[in-house]
């Protein structure tokens, strides 16, 4: 078959001797009709290495399968935090080949056993990610079939699947079906898409930039500040709002702030709330903020990258009331649905606002225009992209929604359990959290509290059995726990307590405190 195609090609080339001459000149100076085919056949022998035989594939699959089985079987016994510096020599690209065994060995020592183990249930720092296995099956299928999920014309099935996943999210969050959405690489790009739509809807450009105001919490995720700069709004006015005792936006103060800006002749333009802040997991009063946004004709954006999917949990659902009022919403399945890194999502009600920046046509895409479905490429800066939908579609259908919801409920209860255990051994706790991020500190009477807890954090990191991170709340150094890994279980919290108690003893020893 391939040979017939080659022969046809050659015939075509011979039609124009001139063409062949110019090709000769460009590629191989010594090319002639006799050696052309010999050369192609010789190259094919080398290039076919890129299509391994079924035997080779089976053997690769087996090695990777053994690796992943061993990784999953041992990950909870191993450290959650290794620290360390990888050997760039070993990771470097060098001429020649290595076999898969050697690659897996380098991967283990230089990648898996360095830094944080984000797949570990003991990862209780930052916002933990997931890594459910069935999502990897979706990635495998997506990579092998290489479906083109950028445009409906190329893969109507892939695009319809992604749009159906977004339709499901619209239902979950009470967004109208006519909203548009996109499956992004993560929350940062999702926020960028939402903020761009807000800018374009309100036409914040030229001299309007410096007169316009964005209202947000000082606890907002830093990717929002990045997005503001990336979309050319660096010179816009940003009002950092006052928070209440639970680190939530004080809606009354927001209304006052908008009034004040209006009387100054400014253009209040957008308010951004969080459905779960990174520092303390606080859910802003979404409904009150939504009403204020509506009254004042502001674009209302909600960042639910960490907390959004907790709406699925009956016990905290009420906190999300009003999220449906948002003009745009960001959620991260690679956080709240326990997927491996690489899947965020954005929903935007106003399609035209999104299309203003992202919808494009080009001559070479003339075959690809169809209105049957929204093209992902029209809602995102990306054209060609990883076919991300499958990594969510496969697990959602294989498991059904129930275990996801149970996992979210479990995380909420584990947070309560962890806090009660900490209280019992003498820690002081931050306020009752809305979701699963919380903080605590050891009340040292002998040593400056910040100094004591900084040292304790250092010793906890050195231990590494369970990984916690720290933050500053009103200048106070506190240790932070974020429970969101699907592998975090009651046993993980018990292990964390054993580790923490031992680390307190070591910290006391370090400061020569007798207890």
Q: Which residues of 387-406 are buried (b: 16+ CB within 10 A; e: fewer)?
A: bbbbbbbbbbeeeeeeebee
Note the residue count of the chain.
515
Smallest gap from residue 434 Cβ to ligand PLP (A): 13
Nearer residue to ligand PLP within complex by CB, 306 or 404: 306
Residues 6+ positions from 484 with CB-CB distance below 8 Å: 127, 128, 129, 130, 306, 335, 336, 338, 411, 436
Closer residue to ligand PLP, CB minimum distance, 306 or 452: 306
The CB-of-201 to ligand PLP minimum distance in angstroms stands at 21
CB 339 within 8 A of CB 391: yes
> Around 167, how many Cα atoms within 13 Å sit in the side-chain half-sphere?
10
Residue 422, both tokens: 């900490």
> Exposed, middle or buried: residue 107 (CB in 10 Å: 0-12, 13-18, 19+)?
middle
**Nearest approach, Cβ of residue 303 and ligand PLP (Å):** 5
| 3-state secondary structure labels for all residues of 334-402 | HHHCCCCCCCEEEEECCHHHHHHHHCCCCHHHHHHCCCCCCCHHHCCCCCCCCCCHHHHHHHHHHHCCH
- Could you tell me the smallest distance in angstroms from the CB atom of residue 274 to ligand PLP? 6
For ligand PLP, the closer CB: 201 or 221: 221
Q: Which is nearer to ligand PLP, 138 or 186 (CB)?
A: 186
Question: Which lies closer to ligand PLP via its Cβ, residue 154 or residue 342?
Answer: 342
The secondary structure element, H or E, covering residue 303 is: strand 299-304
Shortest distance (Å) from residue 272 CB to ligand PLP = 10
In the complex, what is the shortest distance from the CB of residue 332 to ligand PLP, in angstroms, rounded to a whole number? 5
Nearest residue (CB) to ligand PLP, 180 versus 190: 190
Task: Name which of 196, 191, 162, 163 is nearest 177 in CA terms.
Answer: 163
Q: How far is the CB of 306 from ligand PLP (least distance, A)?
A: 3
Which residue, 107 or 341, is less far from ligand PLP as judged by CB? 341
Give the residue with the Cβ less far from ligand PLP, 261 or 332.
332
CA distance 69 to 89: 28
**Cβ contact 437:278 at 8 Å:** yes
- Residue 81 pairs with which residues in a beta bridge? 116
- In the complex, minimum distance from the CB of residue 339 to ligand PLP, in angstroms, rounded to a whole number: 11
**What is the nearest approach in angstroms of ligand PLP to the Cβ of residue 140?**
22
* Cα gap 272→282, rounded to integer Å: 14
- If one counts every other C-beta atom within 10 angstroms of the C-beta of residue 33, the result is 11
Question: Which pair of tokens denotes residue 503?
Answer: 């680390």
Minimum CB distance to ligand PLP, residue 172 (Å): 17
Residue with smaller CB distance to ligand PLP, 274 or 296: 274
Of 186 and 430, the one with the shorter C-beta distance to ligand PLP is 186
Structure tokens, 111: 């990648």
Give 177 or 222: the residue with its C-beta nearer to ligand PLP. Answer: 222
Pairing of strands 267-274, 212-216: parallel
- The CB-nearest residue to ligand PLP is 187
Main-chain dihedrals φ then ψ at residue 216, nearest 5 degrees: -155, 165
The minimum distance between CB 507 and ligand PLP, in angstroms, equals: 29
Residue numbers at the binding site for ligand PLP (CB under 6 A): 127, 186-188, 221, 223, 274, 278, 303, 305-306, 332, 344
CB distance 251 to 299 below 8 Å: no
């Amino acid at each position: 078959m391939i040979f017939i195609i080659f022969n046809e090609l050659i015939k075509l080339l011979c039609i124009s001797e001139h063409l062949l001459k110019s090709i000769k000149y460009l590629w191989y100076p010594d090319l002639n009709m006799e050696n052309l085919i010999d050369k192609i056949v010789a190259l094919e022998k080398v290039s076919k290495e890129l299509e391994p035989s079924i035997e080779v594939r089976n053997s690769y699959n087996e090695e990777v399968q053994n690796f992943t089985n061993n990784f999953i079987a041992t990950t909870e016994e191993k450290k959650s935090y290794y620290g360390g510096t990888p050997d760039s020599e070993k990771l470097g690209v060098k001429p020649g080949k290595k076999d898969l065994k050697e690659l897996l060995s380098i991967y283990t020592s230089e990648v898996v056993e360095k830094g944080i183990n984000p797949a570990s249930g003991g990862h209780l720092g930052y916002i933990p990610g997931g890594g459910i296995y069935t999502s990897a099956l979706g990635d495998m299928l997506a990579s092998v079939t290489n479906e083109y999920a950028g445009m409906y014309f190329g893969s109507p099935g892939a695009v319809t699947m992604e749009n159906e996943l977004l339709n499901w999210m619209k239902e979950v969050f009470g967004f109208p079906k006519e909203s548009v959405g996109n499956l992004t690489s993560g929350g940062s790009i999702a926020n960028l898409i939402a903020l761009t739509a807000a800018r374009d809807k309100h036409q914040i450009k030229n001299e309007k930039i410096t007169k316009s105001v964005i209202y947000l919490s000082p606890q907002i995720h830093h990717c929002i500040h990045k997005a503001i700069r990336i979309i050319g709004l660096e010179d816009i006015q940003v009002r950092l709002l006052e928070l209440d005792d639970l680190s939530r936006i004080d809606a009354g103060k927001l209304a006052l702030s908008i009034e004040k800006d209006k009387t100054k002749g400014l253009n209040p333009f957008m308010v951004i709330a969080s459905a779960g802040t990174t520092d303390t997991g606080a859910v802003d009063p979404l409904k009150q903020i939504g009403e204020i946004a509506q009254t004042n004709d502001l674009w209302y954006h909600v960042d639910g990258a960490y907390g959004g999917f907790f709406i699925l949990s009956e016990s905290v659902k009420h906190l999300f009331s009003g999220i449906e009022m948002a003009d745009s919403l960001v959620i991260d399945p690679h956080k709240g649905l326990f997927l491996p890194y690489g899947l965020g999502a954005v929903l935007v009600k106003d399609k035209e606002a999104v299309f203003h920046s992202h919808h494009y046509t080009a001559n070479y895409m003339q075959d690809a225009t169809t209105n049957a479905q929204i093209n992902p490429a029209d809602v995102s800066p990306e054209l060609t992209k990883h076919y991300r939908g499958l990594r969510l579609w496969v697990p959602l259908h294989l498991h059904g929604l129930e275990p996801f919801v149970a996992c979210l409920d479990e995380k909420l209860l584990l947070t309560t359990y962890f806090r009660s255990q900490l209280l019992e051994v003498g820690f002081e706790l931050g306020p009752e959290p809305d979701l699963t991020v919380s903080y605590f500190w050891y009340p040292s009477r002998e040593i400056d509290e910040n100094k004591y807890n900084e040292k304790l954090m250092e010793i906890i990191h050195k231990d590494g059995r369970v990984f916690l991170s720290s933050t500053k709340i009103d200048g106070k150094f506190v240790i932070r726990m974020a429970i969101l890994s699907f592998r975090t279980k009651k046993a993980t919290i018990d292990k964390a307590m054993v580790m923490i108690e031992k680390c307190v003893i070591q910290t006391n020893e370090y400061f020569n405190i007798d207890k």
